[in-house]
Amino acid sequence: GQNIDQPTEMTATEGAIVQINCTYQTSGFNGLFWYQQHAGEAPTFLSYNVLDGLEEKGRFSSFLSRSKGYSYLLLKELQMKDSASYLCAVVDSNYQLIWGAGTKLIIKP
Amino acid sequence: ETGVTQTPRHLVMGMTNKKSLKCEQHLGHNAMYWYKQSAKKPLELMFVYSLEERVENNSVPSRFSPECPNSSHLFLHLHTLQPEDSALYLCASSQDLDTHTGELFFGEGSRLTVL
């Protein structure tokens, strides 16, 4: 079966750095997405990786290793507004999106 | 107007009721989706429409009935639901069906409670 694993919940301190991991076992790979979802709001696109390496976008970076079936989302200079759920999703060989259950990130002052 | 709008935001219904969820997108996209989001579970894709034609139905019970009258509107008709159907129902759109490169734009969801 296909599976996406990410931690259920993480806690970090305002101003610090946090890394949210995502490992996947899917039938093929055609890209990986990260979405952010604040409580009671719509998920919004953060990043898309299809090649190995690090993609940086402001305070957020996303890393991919296809050989390891692994990605992470790195959030720097954490702000209270970064408290949200972070969803990892992989595009499989049939171009279907396979979703993880999401990681709830709690930022403390 | 915001990109993808869903109504109602909250809905409580009994198991014998009939209700509908509405989704409207103002982005000029060609593909629209219904997802079910339950607590601590992955998003479940329910239905996919491309240019108003249903292209995917992921083994969803017949008590859920989608309708796409045009490329901007999507409905989910609900009847004789079960308590386990209580969840957040998210509508999304994308420029085309090729979600492997294009991002999804989600609405804020309709929180459904079945009593």
Collapsing DSSP to helix, strand or coil, A22 comes out as strand
Taking residues A85-103, report their average pLDDT: 93
Confidence at residue B72, expressed as pLDDT on a 0 to 100 scale:
94
- Give the closest-approach CA distance of A32 to chain B in angstroms: 8
Take residue B54 and report the two structure tokens written for it.
């249903």
- Whether B1 has a pLDDT exceeding 60, the answer reads no
Collapsing DSSP to helix, strand or coil, B83 comes out as helix
First to last CA, chain B: 33
Taking residues A9-29, report their average pLDDT: 97
Take residue B42 and report the two structure tokens written for it.
């992955």
Q: What is the pLDDT of residues B29-43, one digit of tens each?
A: 999 999 999 998 999
Residues of chain B contacting residue A4, judged by C-beta atoms under 8 Å apart:
42
Q: B110 pLDDT band (50/70/90 cuts)?
A: very high
Taking residues A29-36, report their average pLDDT: 96
Confidence at residue B94, expressed as pLDDT on a 0 to 100 scale:
92
**Residues in chain B, overall count:** 115
How would DSSP label each residue in B50-68? ETTEEEEE-S--TTEEEEE
Assess A21–B contact: CB distance below 8 Å, yes or no: no
Q: What is the pLDDT of residues A42-69, one digit of tens each?
A: 999 999 999 999 999 999 999 999 999 9
Average pLDDT of chain A is 96
Give the residue among A74, A81, A89 at the shortest CA–CA distance from A106. A81
Q: How many CB pairs under 8 A join A and B?
A: 46
- Give the closest-approach CA distance of A15 to chain B in angstroms: 27
- Give the closest-approach CA distance of B84 to chain A in angstroms: 18
How far apart are alpha carbons A72 and A102 in whole angstroms?
A: 13
CB A29: neighbour CB atoms within 10 A?
Answer: 16
Contact A31 B101 (CB under 8 A): yes
Q: B59 pLDDT band (50/70/90 cuts)?
A: confident
Q: A18 pLDDT band (50/70/90 cuts)?
A: very high
Closest residue in A to B33 (Cα) is A97
**What are the strands, taking DSSP E only, across A14-83?**
18-25, 32-37, 44-49, 53-57, 60-65, 70-75
Confidence at residue B51, expressed as pLDDT on a 0 to 100 scale:
85
Assess B45–A contact: CB distance below 8 Å, yes or no: yes
Q: Are A23 and A69 in contact (CB under 8 A)?
A: yes
Confidence at residue B99, expressed as pLDDT on a 0 to 100 scale:
63
A7 burial via Cβ count (<10 Å: 0-12, 13-18, 19+): middle
